[in-house]
Amino acid sequence: MFKGKTAIVTGSAKGIGYGIALLLAKGGANVVMGDFDAVTNENAAKEIEKQTKAKCFAVACDVSKKSDVNDLIRSAIDKFGSLDILVNNAGIYPFKPFMDLTEEDWDKVIDINLKSVFLCSQAAAKAMKDGSKIVSISSIAAFVGFEGLTHYCATKGGINGFTRALALELAPRKINVNAVAPGSIDTPGSSGVSDEQVKAMNQAIPWKRMGTGEDIANAVAYLVSSGADYVTGQVIVVDGGWTLR
């Protein structure tokens, strides 16, 4: 499906990002994996190469820094000659009550979750040919409030607005810009959730289970495929029906 295409996935060392990188590699894409955790990311790239026989390349990258982002894009071009797909997945969600948030707490989440989407999208768009694809990972937190995550919710709402506006600006070049908004997903980042909390979350989800990284990867794979060439500026919610309540 993606043979001959080159994709960058940020926050790729584990969780949703790893699942996306794996599925794109299975589809034949050359995958550049950008993550702050250099060792875990390098191991993840090797594991994906072993599983898929695709070409994977790990790049240590702080996506909140323009210089690192420029290096990431340049590495993809130097390694594979082109850039066709960008998946903005990197993000953090440190729980903290609003009244306890410091300016530093706020800035860190804004920089990693939202500023990075601007930096990566701009740098990628400059390097991409017409007809390329950009997908950002949003969240149902853009539509539903979560206590202790005001900073996180703000970034995901920002991603949705950014996606719609950028889709208009890049439409003349036929570059599709979309987002996927996951619900509750079973990833290493949710390992601290108790069994009781998982049970309560599952009860709130019409499908009675948490989502998986593969669920999100499948939505991304659709949006970066030729089958979604006429889809742009959209946010696809993948949450097992949670937000329908």
Phi first, then psi, for residue 180 (nearest 5°) are -120, 130
3-state secondary structure of 173: helix
Phi-psi region of 60 (alpha: psi -120 to 50; beta: other; left: phi over 0): beta
Q: In what order do the strands lie in the sheet with 176-182?
A: 56-60, 30-35, 6-10, 85-88, 133-137, 176-182, 235-238
Q: Are 27 and 2 in contact (CB under 8 A)?
A: yes
Helix (H) or strand (E) holding 181: strand 176-182
Tell me, rounded to whole angstroms, the distance of Cα 198 from its chain centroid.
Answer: 23
Catalytic, 152? Answer: yes
The catalytic position among 18, 152, 222, 230 is 152
Interstrand relation of 30-35 and 56-60 (parallel, antiparallel or unpaired): parallel
Question: Token pair for residue 119?
Answer: 């930096």
For residue 131, the tally of other CB atoms under 10 A from its CB is: 12
User: Annotated active-site positions, please?
Assistant: 152
